[in-house]
Amino acid sequence: MTAAMITPFGTTAAGQTVDKITLAAGDLTVSLLTWGAVLQSVRMAGVAHDLSPGSERLADYEGAMRHHGSVIAPVVNRLTGASAVIDGQERRFERNLNGRHTLHSGTAGTHLKVWSLEEAGADHATLALDLPDGEGGFPGNRRLTARFSLHAPATLRLELETVTDAPTIFNATNHSYWTLDGGPGWDGHSLQVLADAYLPTTGEFIPTGEIVPVAGTPFDFRSPKVITPRNPPLDNCFCLSRGQEPLRPVLVLRGQGGLDLTVATTEPGAQVYDGREAIRPGQSHYEAIAIETQGWPDAPNKPGFPQITLLPDAPLRQITEWRLARAR
């Protein structure tokens, strides 16, 4: 079996070594980091620019780009009031959003850790991370594995698997940003999301608890629609289902140059974020769009939402595929 290309990427501020793993198959070449299980680069044959642009500096990922391309867990997105009831007990978490709420699990997030490289070949790699009971307020000794694989002609697949030894909450995602045309921004891309409803938010981008039909709103992307910054502002979860489903296409992003990205997932939600504040060093606002397949955000605090409970006897498996193609 041909081995993956593994090279040193840098050393964290805490002195830990981080590696870069480069995979290739069909038309795709993809780079991963052991820091945060970051998807650092996605290159397609015949396309001059990076489709998921990252950085060559580890310090950027430890700093302003801490969410960029990473696997975020144990709970992505917001938790109202930095608390949740788990197995009948109220748990408190880090208040790292406006001093009131929890965002992306705070400093306990998997995007701020060095993962172990368990196995790798030319077209696949598996990273793993152990999360101790009580870290960040989250119960259970948990083990998370992330298997990235490439499938010709141009599909990247991510399989996340999680086990726990105690009841807990868990909602993981990959937080990559995508731009199909390159250049300074994504203005002029078209977006299609196969969702009949979305979750409106408060001024702090926390779901209000309403589940609103997209029909008649600016968030109706059931048919492809050209998007521009702030029209509408996007940092919302689109409701794909009430629970996990077999892998199915849920979203299509198309660049003006005729390149398509189809996202397929097992997950019940897709958070779309316009990247208004996700600025890579030397780049501008709205450079790329984040597409985060996940459970509905703040579910433990919203009784009407599908819950994100993880139990010892029911391992969680999440699958997302990014399928790239030239439009016909």
Structural domains of the chain sorted by starting position, each given as residue range(s) with its CATH number in brackets: 5-326 (2.70.98.10)
Question: CA 114 to CA 18: how far, in whole Å?
Answer: 7
User: DSSP secondary-structure letter at 281?
Assistant: T
The answer to whether 81 and 94 have CB atoms below 8 angstroms apart is: no
Q: Could you give the dihedral angle defined by the CA atoms of residues 272, 245, 87 and 164, in that order, rounded to the nearest 10 degrees?
A: -90
Task: Kindly give the pairing relationship between strand 248-254 and strand 259-265.
Answer: antiparallel
Query: Which pLDDT score, from 0 to 100, does residue 3 have?
Result: 81
Beta-ladder partners of 264: 249, 321
Reference 141, options 150, 149, 132; nearest CA is: 132
Which pLDDT tens digit goes with each residue over 278-309? 779 989 899 999 999 999 999 999 999 999 99
Over the chain (328 residues), the average pLDDT of each successive run of 10 is 88 98 98 98 97 97 96 98 97 97 98 98 98 98 98 98 98 98 93 98 95 98 96 96 98 96 98 90 92 98 97 97 90
Question: CA 296 to CA 307: how far, in whole Å?
Answer: 8
Query: Which pLDDT score, from 0 to 100, does residue 284 have?
Result: 87
Element (H, E) at 162: strand 155-164
Angle at 54 between CA 28 and CA 56, to 5 degrees: 105
Structure-block tokens of residue 23: 């995979």
